[in-house]
Structure 1
């Protein structure tokens, strides 16, 4: 059995945490994809087989800005996407010697990726991946109508937080008819790869698809005109951190299923798979029945692994309610929406962590295949 198959078998049968709270010429561009590691902080090409900012760079940038828009006129969508893609390439892949008033210090490791929501996808072809909206989940009552779904996602990430808003404002000049719905500026703790500490103080992103084979199996659409696309789920989760941290440490660990340093309650090191069958001498499960690590396990959900790239946010106390408007901007990528839906439905039923999370915005988007100067952004949808 190959190492890849062995690891997949282990992940799907032995305790993977799958959800948290992850070149101008087309030929040259195709070689710049998620299999190519880029050092943190280094300039990344916007062109490629897949869009940057999903699995490139391997360690997510520390800051991100996710902006969701309505598209008033879908009849001009092809032109708008092409214009937006050209603006992205000009901003990020232009000559480094040319001064850029938008980013006077250069783009650095700034990445931008673009996705379409269910409504415009249905207008193109109802059978497209992502054309079906997400269902409502438990504790979704706080989501306002203009913060559910959305037509277009523009996601920017950078080590330089100050580059995000100027870059977004510049790109929007190419598509002035877009109507802003909501946006969130998030930040990540220091980490390596996808692993970083979440707002509750626990390591997240420990088990995700790794390497080209696992990414192709779980994240990327690999064939047909949409090869290089993926489905992104975006969930803004307000977390009741005060209530969670009021628990004693063993109770917190029991809610998560791991210690704060990442070690599973079933034993082992920070990257050890959770053993859901491990028991105490008295016959009790070491990982509690309603722990997040157990509830999210794919052996129960029947779902694939998801690539997670979550960001914390903190807007301070809500002026009306006084409740802290802070938490996690959960971002994940998978080949289809079902991977997330199956997992979330189970979390709503048997995950004690959901007691501390309230969704305040939610949407799913088909992150379009990679593009270049000879292959406009979104062009596979219209051929």
Structure 2
């Protein structure tokens, strides 16, 4: 099988990356530059490594806060490919890459590199159609999705503070997979600067200028309730992911007044405080009204339409990453232990959520994020024995 035509080959990616690394070394570290008296760049503390093994995969709740750079690759498996063997190989490659012992890193330090792997509904159904993750994501309105940008068998999520690692690690893992997979689409993205929310929590700003991901399962008890799959044993310790790539109409949103922008979200743009008042991390008081009877949080505000209590679902762990290829947008990723948490929320939003008026979805997929792994329990072995 052949990878999508719009993507460069693995050999090309490796050659380009090696050239870029070499160019950076010769351009920035020559004795000539030192002789000119230019100040050396300030030393920065190296990010702490993140163990790839454990009960849960890394890259979901660890590290905290999440790294600033992300690359997702969505691919299909060949019809005759054994998923278990491929996943076990990817797990071993991930262990070597995060340890810095894989020569395909080209000398780059892994730092806080994480790689998170999920499998799509078709593969889950081949194991057991009754398992969480076996259901496909339905179609929704406000979508313009090409066939190859909907669904998929394999998700590889790569996160790191060092953006240079993303394409290098992707090339290494695709090289490991070889012709057993066929790439559908990929997207690189980045998170905005982290804003303190209180109680040790932070969240980034999105491309629309608002703090994103305030509400979610933050405590261990909340994560056990809403994030991690408790069972069956084949999926215990995993979770369900939804990916949605969206284009944003930034000029039209920017043309709104600040008050109109805040009414779209239901929060203050600068602080993230709900329009009903209170702390940033507190939920909005949806019944609060002005003296003349108007809701402080408008009826079509995003925080009202997407509110878990209003929808009647659990919390999602939401991650939004800013994109600019081919146009400004967001890559939205949510993690939850029940797909209905996402589908019911978006169904509720579709009717009147003011934020959706500025978005169009161009890629969509759902994956079972596999349970964690170690030497005795290879990646995917619980599902594909």
Q: TM-score, normalised by structure 1?
A: 0.84
Contact 1:74/1:123 (8 A) holds in 2: no
Say yes or no: does 1:61 pair with 2:70: no
Q: CA deviation at 1:74?
A: 5.2
**Pairing 1:105-124 to 2, within 5 Å after superposition:** 105-124=108-127
Distance 1:103 1:264, change over 3 A: farther
Contact 1:292/1:352 (8 A) holds in 2: yes
Greater relative contact order, per chain length (Cα 8 Å cut-off, separation 6+) = 1
Q: CA deviation at 1:118?
A: 1.0
Distance 1:211 1:271, change over 3 A: closer
Q: 1:178 aligns with which of 178, 181, 184?
A: 181
Q: CA deviation at 1:80?
A: 0.7
- What residue in structure 1 maps to residue 87 of structure 2? 81
User: Helix, strand or coil for the counterpart of 1:315?
Assistant: coil
- What residue in structure 2 maps to residue 47 of structure 1? 53
Contact 1:42/1:108 (8 A) holds in 2: yes
Output the aligned Cα RMSD.
Answer: 1.6
**Pairing 1:153-192 to 2, within 5 Å after superposition:** 153-176=155-178, 177-191=180-194
User: Helix, strand or coil for the counterpart of 2:272?
Assistant: coil
Cα shift readout 1:64-91 (whole Å, capped 9, x = no counterpart): 0011001112541111111111111121
Counterpart CA distance in 2 for 1:100 and 1:123 is 35
Say yes or no: does 1:272 pair with 2:282: yes
Structure 2 unaligned segments of length 5 or more: list them.
Answer: 1-44
Say yes or no: does 1:242 pair with 2:251: yes
Q: TM-score, normalised by structure 2?
A: 0.84
Say yes or no: does 1:311 pair with 2:311: no
Q: CA deviation at 1:269?
A: 3.2
Counterpart CA distance in 2 for 1:112 and 1:74 is 25
Contact 1:40/1:59 (8 A) holds in 2: no
User: Helix, strand or coil for the counterpart of 2:253?
Assistant: helix
Counterpart CA distance in 2 for 1:207 and 1:41 is 26
Contact 1:194/1:308 (8 A) holds in 2: no
Structure 1 unaligned segments of length 5 or more: list them.
Answer: 1-38, 317-324
Counterpart CA distance in 2 for 1:194 and 1:179 is 37
Counterpart CA distance in 2 for 1:243 and 1:67 is 30
Q: CA deviation at 1:175?
A: 1.0
Counterpart CA distance in 1 for 2:102 and 2:151 is 37
- What residue in structure 1 maps to residue 154 of structure 2? 152
- What residue in structure 1 maps to residue 205 of structure 2? 197
Cα shift readout 1:220-264 (whole Å, capped 9, x = no counterpart): 012331211000000001111111111111111111100102011
User: Helix, strand or coil for the counterpart of 1:299?
Assistant: helix
Q: CA deviation at 1:366?
A: 0.2
- What residue in structure 2 maps to residue 3 of structure 1? none
**Pairing 1:1-383 to 2, within 5 Å after superposition:** 41-73=47-79, 75-93=81-99, 100-140=103-143, 142-176=144-178, 177-191=180-194, 193=201, 195-225=203-233, 226-260=235-269, 261-316=271-326, 325-383=327-385
Q: Which runs of 4+ in 1 moved over 6 A?
A: none
Work out which of the two has the higher radius of gyration on C-alpha atoms and give 1 or 2: 2
Cα shift readout 1:108-157 (whole Å, capped 9, x = no counterpart): 000001000111111221112111111111111x1000000111000000
- What residue in structure 1 maps to residue 35 of structure 2? none
Counterpart CA distance in 2 for 1:236 and 1:168 is 19
Counterpart CA distance in 2 for 1:103 and 1:190 is 28
